[in-house]
């Protein structure tokens, strides 16, 4: 059995929005790995550069002419060395030469090829025998903001977290029930509702922010009573997309309101208390660490999660930890480029008591790797939609992982909740 890399093949494929993206195969003497890259709609300023100048075509060319000659012959078993070599080839902090998505796909495909060489599932190769905890699925049920067009809520995502389920299958099934229940309520509320969905499979409708929360809270309560465990609503505000730098206000166009930082804080706190939110992501713009810290101090039994705030960057996380800004962090591997970089941030988050939430991107592919990463790296939540195909790929893979683990499988714990 050999894990020496024999070939690396890159190609252009498409994501769930029909946009071009990169896919990479890593072939070892005894194994094979394949990974493709997601996109994302609201992107943090601190993220790496996705592609070099010239886009996906140039990225594929870089793999063929620049990267493959350096990696072929190396041992895929040494993940850190592979990822370090990708950094050395690029030689910039933000992967602008080869592209962050190029590094991302090679890094993940390499890990899968090694796992395949050993005849192990990826989560077990990366996490060892001790990896047996399943994450709770955090799902987008109603979309707004940049995920939609026309009249829709300003808040980008209205989410559900089925915390309390005894198995991943039960948790995923509860999210599907809530998705269906919201559809039933929307049909009764809006006669012009035409079953519209965003590219994450969440419903889009002509409703306000508060109407969306009322509907979601109602659906969560009804389904919680049906399944006998708690399904809590949450939101991803994506506040950087609402922030107006000139006026220093969050502009809620649908509501016809502008809120300064203090008013935004009070507004979010009211939502947490009134609707019993278990999760709030990016309630302030990506540089407002102080407001994140204030909300974290005041919001009880609620995950305050930073996405754009941290961009999976351990240096930005370290600054947040210093002032207690947030208590959870979104992990998107392609925000930093490689598996090793992402793991460094996950480990730093755990040491600080932050909950790592591994996440899809809005323009995703049917690549399932983050399902395995959630189990391998003990991330207690996976954010990956509810019903759309690219999301279902991750959810179904976790059902398979749970089956593989059998009696050893158990759901993760989230201390803050």
Catalytic annotation, residues: 200, 332
Rounded-to-10 torsion of CA 179, 182, 184, 188: -160
The answer to whether 375 and 131 are in contact (CB under 8 A) is: yes
C-alpha 362/C-alpha 182 separation (Å) is 20
Question: Tokens 């959870």 correspond to what residue?
Answer: 328
The answer to whether 223 and 139 are in contact (CB under 8 A) is: no
C-alpha 118/C-alpha 416 separation (Å) is 37
Which among 47, 97, 50, 51 is positioned nearest to 70, based on CA atoms? 97
Burial class (CB within 10 angstroms; exposed 0-12, middle 13-18, buried 19+) of 202: buried
Burial class (CB within 10 angstroms; exposed 0-12, middle 13-18, buried 19+) of 117: buried
The answer to whether 310 and 292 are in contact (CB under 8 A) is: no
Question: Tokens 């192990």 correspond to what residue?
Answer: 120
C-alpha 377/C-alpha 131 separation (Å) is 8
DSSP 4: B
Which residues share a beta bridge with 7? 27
Q: How far is CA 344 from the centre of its chain?
A: 17
Q: How far is CA 51 from the centre of its chain?
A: 20
Number of H helices, E strands in the chain: 13, 16
């Amino acid at each position: 059995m050999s894990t020496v890399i024999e070939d690396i093949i890159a190609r252009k494929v498409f994501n769930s929005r029909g946009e071009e993206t990169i896919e990479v195969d890593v072939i070892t003497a005894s194994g094979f790995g394949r990974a493709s890259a997601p996109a994302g709609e609201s992107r943090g300023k601190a993220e790496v550069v996705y592609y070099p100048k010239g886009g996906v075509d140039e990225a594929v060319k870089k793999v063929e002419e620049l990267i493959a000659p350096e990696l072929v012959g190396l041992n895929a078993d040494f993940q850190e060395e592979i990822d370090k070599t990708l950094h050395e080839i690029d030689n910039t902090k933000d992967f602008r030469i080869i592209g962050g998505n190029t590094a991302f796909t090679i890094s993940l495909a390499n890990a899968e090829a090694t796992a395949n060489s050993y005849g192990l599932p990826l989560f077990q190769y990366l996490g060892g025998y001790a990896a047996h905890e399943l994450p709770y699925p955090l799902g987008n049920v109603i979309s707004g903001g940049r995920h939609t067009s026309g009249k829709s809520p300003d808040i980008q995502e209205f989410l559900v977290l089925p915390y309390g389920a005894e198995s991943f299958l039960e948790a995923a099934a509860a999210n599907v029930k809530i998705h269906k229940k919201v559809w039933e309520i929307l049909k009764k509320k809006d006669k012009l509702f035409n079953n519209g969905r965003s590219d994450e499979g969440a419903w889009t409708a002509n409703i306000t922010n508060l109407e969306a929360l009322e509907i979601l809270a109602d659906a969560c309560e009804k389904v919680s009573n049906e399944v006998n465990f708690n399904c809590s609503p949450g939101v991803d505000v994506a506040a950087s997309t609402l922030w107006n730098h000139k006026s220093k206000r969050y502009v809620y166009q649908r509501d016809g309101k502008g809120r300064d930082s203090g008013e935004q804080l009070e507004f979010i706190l009211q939502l947490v208390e009134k609707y019993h939110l278990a999760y709030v992501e990016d309630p302030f713009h990506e540089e407002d660490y102080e407001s994140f810290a204030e909300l974290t101090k005041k919001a009880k039994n609620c995950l305050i999660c930073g996405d754009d705030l941290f961009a999976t960057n351990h240096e930005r996380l370290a600054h947040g930890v210093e002032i207690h800004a947030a208590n959870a962090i979104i992990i998107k591997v392609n925000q930093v480029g490689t598996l090793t970089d992402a793991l460094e941030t996950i480990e730093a988050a755990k040491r600080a008591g932050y909950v790592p939430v591994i996440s899809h991107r809005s323009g995703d592919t049917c690549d399932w790797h983050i399902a395995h990463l959630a189990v391998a790296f003990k991330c207690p939540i996976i954010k990956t939609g509810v019903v759309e195909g690219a999301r279902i790929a991750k959810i179904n893979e976790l059902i398979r992982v749970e089956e593989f683990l059998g009696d050893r499988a158990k759901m993760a714990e989230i201390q803050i909740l």
